[in-house]
Amino acid sequence: MKKASVTTKKAPKVKKPLTTQKVRNTAKAKKWVYFFGNGKAEGKGDMKELLGGKGAGLAEMTNLGIPVPAGFTITTEACNAFFTSGKKHPPQMWDQVLENLKKVEKSMGMRFGDPVNPLLVSVRSGAKFSMPGMMDTVLNLGLTPATLQGIITRTNNERFGYDAYRRFITMFGTIVMGIDRNKFEHVIEKMKKAKGIELDTDLDAGDLKIVSEEFKSIYKNETGSDFPNDPLRQLELAINAVFGSWFGNRAAKYRKLNGIADDLGTACNIQSMVFGNIGETSGTGVGFTRDPSTGEKKFFAECLINAQGEDVVAGIRTPLHIEELAKKMPKAYADLKKIYQKLEKHYKDMLDIEFTVQEGTLYMLQTRVGKRTAAAALKIATDMVKEKLIDKKTALLRIDPAQIDQLLHPMIDPNSNLKVVCKGLPASPGAAVGRVVFNAEDAEHAAGLNEKVILVRTETSPEDIGGMAAAQGILTARGGMTSHAAVVGRGMGKCCVVGCSAIDINENEKYFTINGSITVREGDAVTLNGTTGEVMLGEAQLVSSVLKGDFQVIMKWADEARKLGVRANADTPHDAKVAREFGAQGIGLCRTEHMFFEADRIRAVREMILSDTREERERALAKILPMQKKDFIGIFREMAGLPVTIRLLDPPLHEFLPHTDEDIQELAREMNVSADRLRAKNKALHEFNPMLGHRGCRLGVTYPEIYEMQVRAIMEAACELAQQKVKVFPEIMIPLVGHVNELKAMRDITVKVADEVKAKYKSKTAYAVGTMIELPRACITSDEIAPYADFYSFGTNDLTQTAYGLSRDDAGRFLPYYIDVKVLAEDPFMQLDQTGVGALMQMAVDKGRKVKKDMKLGICGEHGGDPSSVEFCHRLGLDYVSCSPYRIPIARLAAAQAVLRKAGKDLSKSTV
């Protein structure tokens, strides 16, 4: 009785609704709130940045004359002001809320807090970019013991009233006050069990009345106060909770994964409630105007009868196919069909919609551009061009280049139900299933027996190349997105997960543990998802991708639009073949060092390293020359008619020698030399910082016979193929040039050997000599270097390392933290640092082309396959980008979008 008397005392009088209280003149204040209702909205569909996607969609639908319950949107600017002012509403925002609440009351013919004819509202988030399920929603707000009776009287449905009330208490308690939702769910489950029923809908009004009272007791126990019976206080707290959810864990993680800025803020939408849970003539549903998985032009929707929207989204009940709505409420379904078709025609895109039917009348609650798979994105884009809804340019701009990755690799069957046990960095997309092995030799042996394996290493090295090629996928405990495993994995198109710090590997005992609790032994099956970085125990079913039809159409349109060439980073004939199939226009980086690790030549390489004189080194190199030539013949043949840029030896020599005592002893026996001699050579070659040590052109300067052999192999391969009428365009690239004199010396050697070979073969084969720009000094002195280079290729992996003073393999230990605390917005090894590294590149371009106007310029670092970096390269005026074979379609599309975006900006400037 005491509670009832308190509630009655606080209940507002009918003649003085809450919204008439304390409303100041807001005419001159900054506009924080935008109304929509009665077929007219203050906002528009193109105001997503201010109103969020949901608010802009509600405004646009209202202006289109579509039935939308009246409401208003509090702007994203208000959200940002809320946080900058210490979680306080900006000046006059609350007054504008009250003013617009009064407009809603007038539109709906109800009053907020009125015990006779109460208006209830929903409070929903809505950011510029769709973040489904990441932020908060409160439904049925405004219910109190007094307004509850008004709802029951007005609808003559006691069960509906208490169903709405218990839902409101649950959502308000969990979302606004942070109470564990399971505490409320336990009460419901206990009640259903006591009555011997399975569904919430089988609970009667009496049951729900008891449940509601128990819910209020939980609320008081958890918060120390009674459930609020002041509707305006409810509204204020709910708005604050929606704003607060912008920085909730879910939303923050989602933004990080999807590259959404933290400073955009969320809008807050307050909208009149319509109810799908009044009875069998009411219902709710969500849908897509086309199939979001396949892109097929058919309405893809689900519904529930006698339910609220949260039941569909949360999976509280199994939804029905939309045809059930057509059977039970044919008029509402017919209206829905007309509206979704009208919306798709208006927006010219596939849409995600939400709707409610209240006692036979349809209301639309949301429309936004729908999320879709890569396959669906391509089909929808091409179909809408055929339907003349959009043009080719719009179709190309609609597709996220990064999404193309989904199509280029095997994928995990969505129906597989395996538990994720840990997660690393998604270094190379796709999926892989196999049994665990811990070294390259075992991987190669297993592949020889047609067994599928996953190579698990603490980190990989160039010596693991054979095992990496043999394995289905690669998992490492260390390393970043541009580590050896990541770069080589992407180049091979291998699924690869790196930097998985949760695993602790014992290579000797051949097992690894996950977070110290799960043990995975050699031979156990695991599944990797290289697209997400997830690791699962057991074997998932994989599905293959087929690159035909819509994919080929989109790529054709992209090629017609783009100006940048797209080449591949490829080191073998197989890689070259794959690259060409994906549309590569040549090879922008062929790394010769990987060829040195082949079993039939590594001994000769090591013999060369152990040699003490030039004559001894030349004898060893003579053994390698025919093998290198054979490699180049294979690559040139696959790339017939297209340019091939070959980087001469780059890594330090110590990488080709073993380092463990066991391996040293074994090699000593094989080469018939003493183990002490090998140890001495290792010691002599040891460097404290090998990435800045004796490597690249520095090797060529001190051991010119190495580069002479490689140039000879390149040119002999080219000349022999030329005699067979195969068109070959070799481009010889000198790595790690920091001073013009290094390039001058290496160019002289290259030209001398190349011309000797041409003379020997009586060939007119043309060749080019250029350099890799990967040191800041090379950028600064580009005008000095340019006269001796036929082309530049930016090696942005090393340029990023040297510009930042970071080791890409070690930086993985702290770069994620840098990104988490906003020191850096992105990992500079994954996305090109345009203001820092980009400024060095701009300097090199400007100075180089000042000397040589038509100098060919490209990029061959891993950034060559990153869409934002590709767009930067277009703006920089480069001639081509080069990337891993499996990223070529991504680069082709990104290059086209760069042209179209620039054209759009130029057009907007001219109209201004």
Q: Which residues does the annotation mark as catalytic?
A: 484, 860
Nearest to 640 by CA among 754, 730, 716: 730
Q: Give the helix ranges, DSSP H, for 291-389.
A: 309-314, 323-328, 330-347, 374-386
User: Which 8-state DSSP code applies to residue 172?
Assistant: I
396: tokens are 């190309």
DSSP code per residue over 815-878:
HHHHHHTTS-SS-TTTS--TTTHHHHHHHHHHHHHHH-TT-EEEE-SGGGG-HHHHHHHHHHT-
Nearest to 711 by CA among 670, 767, 778: 767
For tokens 């798979």, what's the residue?
Answer: 373
Alpha-carbon distance of 782 to 324, in angstroms, equals: 70
Q: Provide CB contacts within 8 A for 506, sequence distance 6+.
A: 512, 513
Q: Are 551 and 374 in contact (CB under 8 A)?
A: no
Provide the CB-side half-sphere exposure for 474 (13 A, CA). 38
Q: Provide CB contacts within 8 A for 885, sequence distance 6+.
A: 491, 493, 568, 569, 570, 575, 578, 579, 582, 584
Alpha-carbon distance of 533 to 422, in angstroms, equals: 9
Q: What angle do CA 813, 819, 825 make, to 5 degrees?
A: 140
Q: What angle do CA 202, 205, 211 make, to 5 degrees?
A: 85
Nearest to 462 by CA among 882, 152, 809, 165: 809
Q: Are 111 and 117 in contact (CB under 8 A)?
A: yes
Supply φ then ψ for residue 543, to 5 degrees.
Answer: -120, 140
Alpha-carbon distance of 61 to 70, in angstroms, equals: 11
Alpha-carbon distance of 293 to 290, in angstroms, equals: 9
Q: How far is CA 357 from CA 150, 172, 203, 442, 463, in A?
A: 21, 24, 22, 62, 65
- H or E stretch covering 102: helix 93-108
Q: Are 279 and 359 in contact (CB under 8 A)?
A: yes
Alpha-carbon distance of 454 to 523, in angstroms, equals: 9
